[in-house]
Amino acid sequence: MGVIAEFENDLRTILPAEWFTFAAKADWTSLREVQLAVGSQSIVRALGHRGWIAPHWAREHGGRGLSDVDAAAVIGRLDELAVPRIPRGTGFVLAAPAIRQFSSEETKRRFLPKIVTGEEMWAQLFSEPGAGSDLASLACRAVRDGTEWVVSGQKVWTTLGHEADIGMLLARTDPDAPKNKGITYFAVDLRAPGVELRPLIQMTGEHEFNEVFLSEVRIPDSWRISPLNDGWAASNASLAAERITLSGQKAGGPQKRSILGGKTIDEVVALSRERGLTSTQRQRLVGAWIDAKVLSWTVGRVKGPAGSITKVMKAKSNQELQCLAVEILGADALAWEGDVKSEYAMYVRELLRTRANSIEGGTSEIQRNII
């Protein structure tokens, strides 16, 4: 059996039959219901255990060792079917690029297979109260003690840290070196003695972020991701991947969290008539649809530092779109509870959440400097 045939056979085993029917019809609403019933992460785990999440990775790292051509065919098919393929947390998107490029073979074998299956969920411990966009100013210290490192410091804005198993940690290992030179990139057990997480509640009422306090936390040297004092280069691999992700590259799943909701231009025009929009509002809505369409063709194609371009564009586009959505829906969008369509209740939360789009992963001002 050829590798693509084997992949298709596995898909038929993992996904319910109606998945293929709804995907063929582009019926994303029904497909979303099936996805919720099955569970996105159960699908990801099943694909990961078979090596299909990262098919181009070596088998010993959790992949299939496929050629770029075959791997592209696999990923393309998953996207065509809107199959979720990103494990929960930031391990696959942010930690894996650094581990694959900078870590020892022992470290790769330890972490990568459990990243692709989602068995270990990761969170990012980069930002500090005095080191956000200027990350190289970080003060968290790591001091060597035999075969271990003793880490003390504070991190902030750690997304889903309260659910994660392992953290990507940047710590200063040479305080006498220039600020971006004496930094090392570690993995840290978030359940280890000395690790304390405190919730940061957003204006939406949700708990997505955390403060993390590290008090003499011990990390084995085998959990060091980067070469000693070369964590800045490794962190740039993670940050470049983060910019691309935040610019809107969403692999798998019909995630339609906007008033456009994957609509065709004809459906957008019908929406404008249904809501009785003014000519100015209609023009803005169609403009938002065009921006979203252009971004959907752009994100993921731009790699490395140039990913800053799409991140800035995505942040601006999403902020304008969610503001327009609340304006169009009026009072309907402001009803958080009660007898109101569930999709309407989402929009005001999305509007509040977009305020972070131009801050997280490096502010838009920093991205413009990179550009």
The confidence score (pLDDT) of residue 319 equals 86
Q: Is 242 an active-site residue?
A: yes
Burial of 213 (0-12, 13-18, 19+ CB in 10 A): middle
Residue type for position 29: T
Which 8-state DSSP code applies to residue 187? E
The confidence score (pLDDT) of residue 305 equals 66
CB 192 within 8 A of CB 149: no
Q: Phi, psi at residue 208, to the nearest 5°? A: -110, -30
Residue in 8, 242, 267, 274 annotated catalytic: 242
Which pair of structure tokens corresponds to residue 60?
């010993």
How far apart CA 337 and CA 331 sit, in angstroms, is 12
The confidence score (pLDDT) of residue 63 equals 97
In this structure, the dihedral spanned by the alpha carbons of residues 69, 63, 160 and 169, taken in order and rounded to 10 degrees, is: -100
Superfamily of domain 105-244: Butyryl-CoA Dehydrogenase, subunit A, domain 2 (2.40.110.10)
* Correct CATH for 256-370 of 3.40.50, 1.20.140, 1.10.1060, 1.10.10: 1.20.140
The confidence score (pLDDT) of residue 299 equals 58
The confidence score (pLDDT) of residue 74 equals 93
Q: Where in the chain is the domain with CATH 2.40.110.10?
A: 105-244
pTM confidence score? 0.76
Q: For residue 197, give the H/E element and its range.
A: strand 195-201
The confidence score (pLDDT) of residue 78 equals 92
For each of the chain's 371 residues, which pLDDT tens digit applies? 689 999 999 999 999 999 999 988 878 778 888 998 999 999 999 999 999 999 999 999 999 999 989 998 998 899 889 899 889 889 999 999 999 999 999 999 999 999 999 999 999 999 999 887 788 899 999 999 999 999 999 999 999 999 999 999 999 999 999 988 999 999 999 999 999 999 999 877 889 899 999 999 999 999 999 999 999 999 988 987 776 665 554 333 333 456 676 677 788 888 888 888 888 888 888 888 888 777 777 655 566 666 777 778 888 888 888 888 888 877 777 766 666 555 566 677 778 878 878 877 777 887 788 77
CB 216 within 8 A of CB 107: no
How far apart CA 9 and CA 12 sit, in angstroms, is 5
Q: At what angle do helices 28-38 and 17-24 cross, to 10 degrees?
A: 160
CB 352 within 8 A of CB 203: yes
Q: Where in the chain is the domain with CATH 1.20.140?
A: 256-370
**Which residues are bridge partners to 210 per DSSP?**
199
Question: Can you tell me whether residue 262 is helix, strand or coil?
Answer: coil
CA–CA distances in Å: residue 326 to residues 112, 239, 323, 343: 42, 32, 5, 12
